[in-house]
Amino acid sequence: MTSTVPAPGTRTTEGSALQAVLLDMDGTLVDTEGFWWDVEVEVFASLGHTLDESWRHVVVGGPMTRSAGFLIEATGADITLPELSVLLNDGFERRIGRDLPLMPGAARLLAELTEHGVPTALVSASHRRIIDRVLTALGAHHFALTVAGDEVARTKPHPDPYLLAARGLDADPARCAVVEDTATGVAAAEAAGCHVVAVPSVAPIAPAARRTVVTSLEQVDLAFLRGLMKESVR
């Protein structure tokens, strides 16, 4: 985890109930969920195996240990989990080196949060080496803190990454807005007690208590997030 945590009392959320914004990375800020699947298909093809398209919904949004472990078991590939993790990360780094598109509305939202001094964290199940590459496109200055999947004992769908991020920003999880794109990430954020804005990328996500579903980040701005938090604490 890397962080530059603001000193107590430096928040400028103008009396809002909102204390921090915690954002997922793949599929939420950068359009890379499809990249991971493409790399998985390529790697397993090199091992002599064809992936079933239906497995895509199983592996999306979770930690690499879970997705890679599932694919090894499903295909019977003769490879260890550590070996496969290296191949997948290597392949993904090559892929984002060619192209790394941001999701619509991502750059505007990050710029607005930065302009208003809202404590913001990037919370991803991806490994640190991947996060650091992606930050060059997103702009590391937008985040006071980042949490990688290989830096916590239990990553998504467990609440640990979001609890760690909230604690690092000196924020109450109940007053943190989390932006996620998968059911796995939503489960982690809700287990941490956060209010979730879901922007589904691969599979549908239904609205629920303390969960708001939108179709694009273009619908999300600071006023929207503050409004959700005010409603949730009434």
Q: Which domain holds residue 77?
A: 33-98
CA distance 117 to 197: 20
Do residues 131 and 55 share a domain? no
pLDDT in tens, 77-122: 999 999 999 999 999 899 888 889 999 999 999 999 999 999 999 9
User: What SS3 string covers the chain?
Assistant: CEECCCCCCCCCCCCCCCCEEEECCECCCECCHHHHHHHHHHHHHHCCCCCCHHHHHHHCCCCHHHHHHHHHHHHCCCCCHHHHHHHHHHHHHHHHHHCCCECCCHHHHHHHHHHCCCCEEEECCCCHHHHHHHHHHHCHHHCCEEECHHHCCCCCCCCHHHHHHHHHCCCCHHHEEEEECCHHHHHHHHHCCCEEEECCCCCCCCCECCEEECCCHHHCCHHHHHHHHHHHCC
Whether 66 shows a pLDDT value over 80: the answer reads: yes
Together in a domain, 172 and 108: yes
Number of structural domains the chain divides into: 2
Instruction: Check whether 41 has a pLDDT greater than 80.
Output: yes
Task: Examine the pLDDT at 68 and tell me if it is beyond 60.
Answer: yes
Cβ–Cβ under 8 Å, residues 9 and 117:
no
Based on the fold, state whether residues 166 and 221 are members of the same structural domain.
yes
Same domain, 44 and 129: no
Out of 9-18, 38-47, 181-190, 221-230, least confident range? 9-18
Q: What is the mean pLDDT of the chain?
A: 89
Do 73 and 182 have their domain in common?
no
59-83: average pLDDT: 89
pLDDT given for residue 14 in this prediction: 45
Instruction: In whole angstroms, give the CA distance from residue 5 to residue 177.
Output: 17
Which of these three, 74, 98, 122, is where a domain ends? 98
Based on the fold, state whether residues 115 and 211 are members of the same structural domain.
Answer: yes
Residue 135 has pLDDT above 80, yes or no: yes
Q: What is the pLDDT of residue 103?
A: 96
Q: What is the pLDDT of residues 4-26, one digit of tens each?
A: 333 333 344 444 599 999 999 99
Tens-place pLDDT, residues 178-198 = 999 999 999 999 999 999 999
Question: What is the rounded average pLDDT of the residues 170-184?
Answer: 96
Q: Which of 206, 181, 154, 160 is nearest to 60 (CA)?
A: 181
Cβ-contact 133, 26 below 8 angstroms = no
Return the pLDDT at 63.
78
Same domain, 139 and 175: yes
Cβ-contact 174, 80 below 8 angstroms:
no
Query: What mean pLDDT do residues 146-160 have?
Result: 95
Q: Are residues 25 and 79 in the same domain?
A: no
> Percentage of the chain surpassing pLDDT 90?
74
Task: Report the range of poorest mean pLDDT among 34-38, 157-161, 203-207.
Answer: 34-38
Same domain, 12 and 69: no
